[in-house]
Amino acid sequence: MAYELYYWPTIQGRGEFIRLALEAAGADYVDVARGAKADGQGVGVMMRLMNDPALAHPPFAPPFLKDGDVLVAQTANILAYLGPRLGLEPKDEAGAVFTRQLALTIADVAAEAHDTHHPIAVSLYYKDQKPEAARRAKEFRDDRIGKFMGYFERVLDAGPSGGEFLVGQALTYADLGLFQTIEGLRYAFPKTMQINEHSWPKSVALHDRVAASPKIAAYLASPRRVAFNEDDLFRHYPELDQA
């Protein structure tokens, strides 16, 4: 039976980390909220399921995944659930645990990137928190991007694959997450990334290998990949990038 992914249909957002894992594994899945109402899909179906008072294990928010009777929410938790099923984490416990640890650190980068344009409240528009966004974005550019990216580079330096993979000797969802992180940072902060990327050569090379891998390359070229946009987690506001 196909996995059912539930996420906002017009953004990459946190759901993109799940989409990339499903796509890299060639898994059978339905991106339910992007489907047509006539096919019993769409955002309304997602909202009704999420708000169903009969749910024993309700999600707090999208993304969530339905696998038969099991409903799983929280991005890193969905990835941990899919990891062994899709062959995207090592079989040894220490390796699987480290993959989850990296996915959580990647989720932290995404949350901080989001807060550069929404430092005050998710319920307000960007235009209503621009001065605060300018301050937070500067700190993120000057301090946090380098701290996070330097960490991933350190992990690639320390690993057994010579920098080919973050964990062990094969592709994991952590690698897909680092690919998406670099994609998003490049979209949101192109000047900052252009100036600093040379400091993280193994991370950039990993990004390029993931982008060129057949299943991911096909996905990125397909209409299933939502384009970056300014309703998304990573947003390009030139005033928030390096001058």
Binding site for a second copy (CB under 8 A): 53-60, 69-70, 72-74, 76-77, 80-81, 93-94, 97-98, 100-101, 104-105, 108, 111, 115, 119-121, 123-124, 129, 132, 135-136, 139, 143, 148, 151, 154-155, 158-160
Asked if 163 and 115 touch (Cβ cutoff 8 Å), the reply is no
Tokens coding 175: 């690698």
Residue entry with tokens 């941990």: 80
Least distance (Å) from a second copy to the CB of residue 71?
Answer: 8
Q: Closest CB to a second copy among 139 and 208?
A: 139
Least distance (Å) from a second copy to the CB of residue 33?
Answer: 19
Measured in degrees and rounded to the nearest 5, phi and psi for residue 5 equal -95, 135
Q: Closest CB to a second copy among 156 and 216?
A: 156
Q: Closest CB to a second copy among 33 and 82?
A: 82
Asked if 200 and 148 touch (Cβ cutoff 8 Å), the reply is no
Least distance (Å) from a second copy to the CB of residue 34?
Answer: 23
Least distance (Å) from a second copy to the CB of residue 126?
Answer: 14
Which positions ≥6 away from 121 have C-beta within 8 Å?
A: 129
Q: Does the bond joining 63 to the residue before it have cis omega, within 30 degrees of 0?
A: yes
Q: Closest CB to a second copy among 17 and 98?
A: 98
The 3-state DSSP class for residue 137 equals: helix
